[in-house]
Structure 1
Amino acid sequence: MIFGPTPLEEAKGAVLAHSLRLTGRVIKKGTVLDEGAITAIRESGRREVIAARLEAGDVPEDEAAERLALALLAPHVAKSRAATGRVNLLAETAGLLVLDAKRIDAINAVDESVTIATLPNYSMVSAKEMLATIKIIPFAVPGAVLAVTEAMARRGGTPFALHPFRPLKVGLVLTELPGIKESVMEGAVEATGARVDALQGTLLPVERVRHEEMPTAEALMRLKRAGAEILLVAGASAVVDRRDIGPAAIVRAGGVIEHFGMPVDPGNLLCLGRVGDTPAMVLPGCARSPKLNGFDWVLQRLFAGVAVTSRDVMAMGVGGLLKEIEVRPLPREHAPRTPPPPRAPRKARKVAAVVLAAGRSRRMAPLNKLLVADTSGLPMVARVVDNVLASQARPIVVVTGHESDRVHEALSTRPVLQTHAEDYAEGLSASLKAGLAAVPPDAEGVLICLGDMPLVSGPTLDRLIAAFDPEEGRAIVMPTFRGKQGNPMLWAREFLPEMLSITGDVGARHLVGKHADRMVEVEMADDAVLRDFDTTDALKTLPGMVKVG
């Protein structure tokens, strides 16, 4: 192809590169110039145009796009009419798009003139949705280049496959523990039903049983006899091992466990198995939410008749970081099929903070660790409160007890609420309960901050708040550093009744084991969340402190 300024005497049959606006007429780019167009251009005073002239063997853009599209067609895939060197491939039915990505990459690597752009591999698509677009970049393609790409597209069958969803019957077992809210159970059923409906399936009557191996196994067998083609277990407590109750129930029902865990977040704790030829899964806690998670990826493949093996699950890691929240700084957004209408950003959740500053500092006596000042004269408790004030948490409740007058004086200029724990000498639980009692009723969550951890910054607290979302299963947020669990912790309001019943010199951390399926860990960049300063030796290592002891 020859491209560039072309004298009008040589322009017949050439392709106009740029639109021309003439008196009473517009000749659009891409027009093949005939005698009438050339005469009109000459009458406008021009003597040449920017155009492309095809050489022997060149294939015009629309013909090239059409030929490559025909080579790529597959069952349930249609094509649009070629225009401006472009042909779109479209779904004829709802299903799962499965691509031979290596072959498509190879076709794109043949020559810069030929391009194929597709949806991500294993995309769930609806009827008439665009699957790919074939675009010829210049006005023509050398015939040899097109012949190579056509051959690559046909070799071994097209690299496109659209697997229609099948109307499968799904059986769901819900396991129950005392104290589980009915709304949690209903949410699991609603979210699962919506997923099954979207895939054109049917959810059988749900089985609700005790969170025990035998009742769960018996429920699975009843559902299988009822015609379930996929079996699901939604546990009252998150599965943490292949031998946990959900997986053990699948095995007891005559099945096997093929894979536990997946490199997709949220969705890490998925357990994949089968009972005979029937796929069986123990769901991760995040499956109670309608938001996209790893369970969706597996369920979509099963409905499309695409086998899911252990190796398939292991290969889901690239692109498996699904949630766009601050604790996952490189998210993969699940794009909607059509541009969403403008909407206001989600209102930030209201999180209060409770600073525990009532302790007697017995390990540092006669000093009160909270009142030891740094080189600028700032007491430790004031440093902690200033950090909390630098976060989004509001209001801030400071619990006083030992030497309450001095603590009150140290914080007198700061906009915080102070409440006194009369029975602070009975231990940490007394201070905790006094602080929780002062939390306003509209607070959705509470940060429990320790008065002897002055290195925990406002941005660190905001990372915890950003991760907090009870509706998606992140109702307890715990900071970690290199895998070690630290403080402060953020608790949803739903746990306050249990926290208020604690007695003795303990906090609420032991409740995490009971509600592990509602907890998320947030890895921090430094060890501030591990460092408390409750001894003289520890205090000597606190940056900015005067010499003590």
Structure 2
Amino acid sequence: MRKVPVTEAVGMILCHDITKIVPGCEKGRAYQKGQVVTTEDIPKLLDLGKKHIYVWEPEDDLVHEDEAALSLARHAAGPGLYWDQPNQGRVNIRAAREGLLKVQASRLYRANSLEDIVMATLHNNRVVCKEQVVAGTRVIPLAVRRQILEEAEKICSEPGPLLSVKPFQPLWVGIVTTGSEVYSGRIQDGFCSVIKKKIAPFGARLLGQIIVPDDPDVISKEIRMLIADGAGLVMVTGGMSVDPDDVTPAGIRASGAEVVTYGAPSLPGAMFMLAYLGHVPVCGLPGCVMFNNSTIFDLILPRIFAGERISRPEIVALGHGGLCEECEACRYPACSFGKAT
């Protein structure tokens, strides 16, 4: 790569994109890397404020920015991802399917700690749509040292890819609705319709809803029966507070499920309960799920449908970012809610 005056560049190969910016009107690529500079290009380049340009002279120790960005994308992108062609030195990585984005954050930090390496991603555990841009990568100079690029490639690919998109599994879902007031018909249940809307994007199938009184033995029996009938996820609604008549947590424990947590550092959703009966998650849902746009339920649900088993330390980590701002126009998941470091 060599810096030359624009007026002396005729016949030389441009080694970088040149951007044209018209304030308030446009920003785009005026010249593309690899283009041979002609006599007609000289006044145009001067109009763009270019007195000098870089032309390409291959060196064994240097890798051009486009080639480097493509290589970084290829090494970082795992299952469920693909990448675009370079544009002004940047390569975008896109989701090839709907699913749960997984980012190995500690390795991403290591890669970005290398000189001249840039990779930006969406947050880990973000639900993404097919063809959505989930990451972008580039190098800072027009050509990067091969040794640095190879080190970044190693970080991006070992062990396993830096980025991936897990597909959602179409689980059968069972609902146990507790509350003597609902069981007796005094009031109508408000949970089931909300849950149906929440699980629909994941391709879930509703196995059934069972309404029971505030009786731990009955609650536990119905949880076990739903799982025996094929439920891959059981949600128990109502009775999650600490009032004397709220016995849902006791009913979940009585089913034999292993409790991961009762209580979560998330607002709304502090009274959430997560347990596992074998490999089947059992969730105790607090009342806020009926009334708030985004709660702990929205943070946990995608991971369950992606087939992940959630641990207590992962729940604890939600405290950083676990406060929903309850915006007038909800933007979740394009916001900070639940974005633990």
2: CA distance, partners of 1:295 / 1:280? 12
Q: Name the structure 2 match of 1:101.
A: 105
2:64 to 39, 54, 60: 60
1: CA distance, partners of 2:13 / 2:44? 19
SS of the equivalent of 2:313 reads: helix
Q: Cα–Cα, structure 1 residues 283 and 52, in superposed 2: closer, same or farther, change >3 Å? A: same
2: CA distance, partners of 1:44 / 1:79? 32
Q: CA deviation at 1:119?
A: 1.0
1:69 to 47, 50, 73: 73
Q: Cα–Cα, structure 1 residues 32 and 171, in superposed 2: closer, same or farther, change >3 Å? A: same
Q: Name the structure 1 match of 2:96.
A: 92
2: CA distance, partners of 1:98 / 1:184? 42
2:285 to 283, 297, 309: 283
Q: Cα–Cα, structure 1 residues 222 and 101, in superposed 2: closer, same or farther, change >3 Å? A: same
Structure with the bigger RCO (C-alpha within 8 Å, sep 6+) is 2
1:134 to 2:137 alignment: yes
Q: Cα–Cα, structure 1 residues 135 and 183, in superposed 2: closer, same or farther, change >3 Å? A: farther
Q: Cα–Cα, structure 1 residues 83 and 140, in superposed 2: closer, same or farther, change >3 Å? A: same
Q: Name the structure 2 match of 1:40.
A: 40
1: CA distance, partners of 2:170 / 2:45? 67
Q: CA deviation at 1:296?
A: 1.9
Q: CA deviation at 1:230?
A: 1.1
Q: CA deviation at 1:280?
A: 0.9
Q: CA deviation at 1:114?
A: 2.5
Structure 2 length normalisation: TM-score? 0.83
2: CA distance, partners of 1:9 / 1:160? 41
2: CA distance, partners of 1:153 / 1:44? 40
Q: Name the structure 1 match of 2:247.
A: 245
Q: Cα–Cα, structure 1 residues 11 and 216, in superposed 2: closer, same or farther, change >3 Å? A: same
1: CA distance, partners of 2:292 / 2:110? 37
| Contact kept? 2:240, 2:246, Cα under 8 Å | no
Q: CA deviation at 1:16?
A: 6.1
Q: Name the structure 2 match of 1:480.
A: none
Q: Name the structure 2 match of 1:449.
A: none
Map Cα deviations across residues 175-209 of structure 1 (whole Å, 9 max, x no partner).
Answer: 12338997975431111111111111112210011
| Contact kept? 2:173, 2:207, Cα under 8 Å | yes
1:214 to 2:217 alignment: yes
1: CA distance, partners of 2:100 / 2:29? 43
| Contact kept? 1:18, 1:29, Cα under 8 Å | yes
**Correspondence list, 1:261-276, <5 A:** 261-276=263-278
Q: CA deviation at 1:240?
A: 2.8
Q: Cα–Cα, structure 1 residues 151 and 125, in superposed 2: closer, same or farther, change >3 Å? A: same
Name structure 2 gaps, 5 residues minimum.
22-27, 336-341
Q: Cα–Cα, structure 1 residues 42 and 163, in superposed 2: closer, same or farther, change >3 Å? A: closer
SS of the equivalent of 1:208 reads: strand
SS of the equivalent of 1:148 reads: helix
1:226 to 206, 224, 229: 229
Q: CA deviation at 1:143?
A: 2.3
Q: Cα–Cα, structure 1 residues 234 and 68, in superposed 2: closer, same or farther, change >3 Å? A: same
| RMSD, aligned CA | 3.4
2: CA distance, partners of 1:17 / 1:83? 8
- Quick one: which amino acid aligns to residue 216 of structure 1? I
2:125 to 122, 125, 149: 122
Map Cα deviations across residues 298-330 of structure 1 (whole Å, 9 max, x no partner).
Answer: 22111101110111111112221223359xxxx
2: CA distance, partners of 1:280 / 1:19? 54
Q: Cα–Cα, structure 1 residues 19 and 208, in superposed 2: closer, same or farther, change >3 Å? A: closer
Identical aligned residues as a percent: 27
| Contact kept? 1:17, 1:51, Cα under 8 Å | no
1:164 to 141, 155, 167: 167
Higher Cα Rg, which structure: 1
| Contact kept? 2:240, 2:248, Cα under 8 Å | no
Q: Name the structure 2 match of 1:13.
A: 13
Q: CA deviation at 1:6?
A: 5.0
Q: CA deviation at 1:125?
A: 1.5
Map Cα deviations across residues 78-133 of structure 1 (whole Å, 9 max, x no partner).
Answer: 2222222222222222211111101111111112x331111111001122222211
Q: CA deviation at 1:257?
A: 1.9
| Contact kept? 1:115, 1:137, Cα under 8 Å | yes
Q: CA deviation at 1:19?
A: 5.5
| Contact kept? 1:266, 1:323, Cα under 8 Å | no
Q: CA deviation at 1:224?
A: 1.6
1:176 to 2:179 alignment: yes
Map Cα deviations across residues 251-272 of structure 1 (whole Å, 9 max, x no partner).
Answer: 2222232211111111111111
1: CA distance, partners of 2:189 / 2:8? 74
2: CA distance, partners of 1:166 / 1:74? 19
| Contact kept? 1:95, 1:165, Cα under 8 Å | yes
2: CA distance, partners of 1:195 / 1:325? 19
| Contact kept? 2:182, 2:189, Cα under 8 Å | no
**Correspondence list, 1:428-447, <5 A:** none
Structure 1 length normalisation: TM-score? 0.53
Q: Cα–Cα, structure 1 residues 13 and 171, in superposed 2: closer, same or farther, change >3 Å? A: same
| Contact kept? 1:16, 1:49, Cα under 8 Å | no
1:195 to 2:198 alignment: yes
Q: CA deviation at 1:216?
A: 1.4
Q: Cα–Cα, structure 1 residues 9 and 231, in superposed 2: closer, same or farther, change >3 Å? A: closer
SS of the equivalent of 1:268 reads: coil
Q: Cα–Cα, structure 1 residues 42 and 256, in superposed 2: closer, same or farther, change >3 Å? A: closer
Q: Cα–Cα, structure 1 residues 12 and 100, in superposed 2: closer, same or farther, change >3 Å? A: same
| Contact kept? 2:180, 2:212, Cα under 8 Å | no
| Contact kept? 1:233, 1:246, Cα under 8 Å | yes
- Quick one: which amino acid aligns to residue 99 of structure 2? G
2: CA distance, partners of 1:184 / 1:58? 72
